[in-house]
């Protein structure tokens, strides 16, 4: 005889419709208006940053850059719900979350401008730097969470990865160990529908990515990732639970990559403009602004002040970035080991000499 031995369900959470109107009654503990205003500001700043960074790349003043255009509510949403002493492990498209965590605009510009000092950020000293090798960070998050748990501390870990990343072993291995060891980790899977040119549908036959958590015995939720209220709320609940020993959680944040994969990509080769325009109607920024206008008396003056303030902050950061002197060449060696082994002393001197005789590296510009 066959009998059902387990049954599962995946829920979706959203509070705002695309116009910013409420879909129903909000829970009593929804994010405070002060929090949401802070989130809105971060989203606006993130979008300005993205636009400016792409522009800097196009004019040869920055390296390859991945825009987070359209995904601002995801990254700002979960990071608003974090406490300072939680840990964050980004993928590479979470500029908003890093800003929220206290990584400065200048530090982020330095990183994308090809300067390692951008990862030595002064704010959240225990957060990890960006992770370029897809999904590898998911495992680091479980290690950090294990350390927190062993010490009996009450912090949580947030790790981000994309829809594409959920195809990789690292992701499965991480959710598995997080489940079986009951680790305080929140996995945020940013489902922006594309992994470069590969659509979500070609990545997995699973109906939702949230359900991947089921196999690991982890609770999960699909969240409207373009709804700041929902992202903040779902993340806050998951983090409070994790800090209290309730174990891991997975959020599949549904959003859309409005821009090219990076400045090195041309998305028109593989997706229709029509699909992109459709998603502009889901834009998370006007949506949350409409909510603030309706519920927090957000005025034209407030908006203007915010825009001006963000632009000023950004332009100052760009100025500082462009004026930052390069590192000394020996920096290449000086952070490889706690104490540079004597074996490398000659090479270290060689690069110093090379830089002084060939400062521009004429062969390789």
Which of 239, 337, 85 has its CA nearest to residue 231? Answer: 239
257 as an active site residue: the answer is yes
Q: Which residues contact 52 (CB under 8 A, 6 or more apart)?
A: 314, 318
Instruction: Name which of 94 and 163 has its Cβ closer to Mg ion.
Output: 163
Residues 170-199 close enough to bind ligand TPP by CB under 6 A: 190, 192, 194-196
Which span sits near ligand TPP by CB under 6 A: 127-135, 175-183, 214-222, 323-331?
A: 127-135
Least distance from another protein to the Cβ atom of residue 207, Å: 16
Pairing of strands 249-254, 219-224: parallel
Which span sits near Mg ion by CB under 5 A: 9-17, 79-87, 192-200, 220-228?
A: 192-200
Q: Which of 200, 257, 287, 321 is catalytic?
A: 257
Question: In terms of residues, how long is the chain?
Answer: 365
335 as an active site residue: the answer is no
270 as an active site residue: the answer is yes
Binding residue for Mg ion (CB under 5 A) from 56, 145, 148, 195? 195
Least distance from another protein to the Cβ atom of residue 351, Å: 6
Binding residue for ligand TPP (CB under 6 A) from 47, 52, 87, 93? 93
Which of 138, 122, 231 has its CA nearest to residue 187? Answer: 138
Residue 90 structure tokens: 């980004």
Residue 124 structure tokens: 């959240």
Q: Does residue number 98 form part of the binding site for ligand TPP (CB under 6 A)?
A: no
Binding residue for another protein (CB under 8 A) from 299, 308, 327, 349? 327
First to last CA, the chain: 71
**Residue 236-275 contact track with ligand TPP, rule CB under 6 A, x = bound:** ---------------------x---x--------------
Q: Does residue number 338 form part of the binding site for another protein (CB under 8 A)?
A: no
Which of 176, 158, 175 has its CA nearest to residue 238? Answer: 158
For the chain, give the longest Cα–Cα distance.
Answer: 81
Instruction: Name which of 163 and 260 has its Cβ closer to Mg ion.
Output: 163
Least distance from another protein to the Cβ atom of residue 331, Å: 7
Give the Cα separation of 150 and 283 in Å (integer).
Answer: 42
Give the Cα separation of 182 and 212 in Å (integer).
Answer: 17
Q: Which of 52, 193, 261, 287 is catalytic?
A: 261
Residue 91 structure tokens: 């993928």
Which span sits near another protein by CB under 8 A: 9-17, 280-288, 301-309, 356-364?
A: 356-364
Are the CB atoms for 127 and 101 separated by under 8 Å?
Answer: yes
The per-type count for the chain, helices as H runs and strands as E runs, is 13, 8
Pairing of strands 185-191, 157-162: parallel
Give the Cα separation of 48 and 43 in Å (integer).
Answer: 9
Which positions are annotated as active-site residues? 257, 261, 270
What residues line the site for ligand TPP (CB under 6 A)? 93, 132-134, 162-165, 190, 192, 194-196, 257, 261
Interface positions with another protein (CB under 8 A): 63-64, 92, 112-116, 130, 132-135, 164-165, 167-170, 195-198, 202-204, 264-265, 269-270, 326-327, 329, 331-333, 336, 344, 347, 350-351, 354-355, 357-358, 360-365
């Amino acid at each position: 005889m066959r009998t059902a031995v387990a049954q599962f369900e995946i829920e979706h959470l959203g509070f705002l419709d695309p116009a910013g109107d409420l879909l129903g009654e909000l829970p009593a503990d929804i994010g405070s208006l002060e929090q949401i205003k802070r989130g809105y500001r971060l989203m606006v700043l993130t979008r300005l940053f993205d636009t400016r960074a792409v522009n800097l790349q196009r004019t040869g003043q920055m390296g390859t850059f991945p825009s987070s255009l359209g995904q601002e509510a995801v990254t700002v949403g979960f990071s608003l719900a974090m406490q300072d002493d939680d840990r964050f492990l980004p993928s590479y498209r979470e500029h908003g979350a890093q800003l929220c965590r206290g990584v400065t605009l200048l530090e982020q510009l330095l990183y994308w401008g090809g300067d390692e000092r951008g990862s030595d950020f002064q704010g959240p000293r225990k957060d990890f730097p960006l992770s370029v090798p897809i999904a590898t960070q998911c495992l680091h998050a479980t290690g950090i969470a294990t350390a927190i748990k062993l010490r009996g501390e009450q912090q949580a870990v947030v790790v981000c990865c994309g829809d594409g990343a959920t195809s990789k072993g690292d992701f499965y291995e991480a959710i598995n160990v997080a489940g079986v060891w009951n680790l305080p980790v929140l996995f945020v899977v940013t489902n922006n529908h594309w992994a470069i040119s590969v659509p979500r549908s070609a990545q997995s036959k699973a109906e939702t990515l949230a359900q991947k958590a089921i196999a690991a015995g982890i609770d999960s939720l699909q969240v409207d990732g373009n709804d700041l209220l929902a992202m903040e709320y779902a993340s806050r609940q998951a983090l409070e639970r994790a800090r209290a020993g309730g174990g891991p959680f997975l959020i599949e944040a549904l959003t859309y990559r409005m821009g090219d994969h990076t400045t090195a990509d041309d998305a028109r080769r593989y997706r229709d403009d029509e699909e992109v325009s459709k998603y502009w109607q889901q834009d998370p920024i006007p949506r949350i602004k409409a909510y603030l206008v309706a519920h927090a008396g957000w005025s034209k003056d407030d908006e203007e002040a915010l825009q001006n303030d963000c632009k000023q902050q950004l332009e100052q950061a760009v100025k500082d970035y462009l004026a930052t002197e390069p590192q000394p060449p020996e920096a290449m060696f000086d952070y490889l080991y706690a104490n540079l082994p004597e074996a490398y002393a000659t090479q270290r001197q060689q690069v110093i000499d090379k830089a002084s005789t060939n400062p521009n590296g004429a062969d390789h510009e």
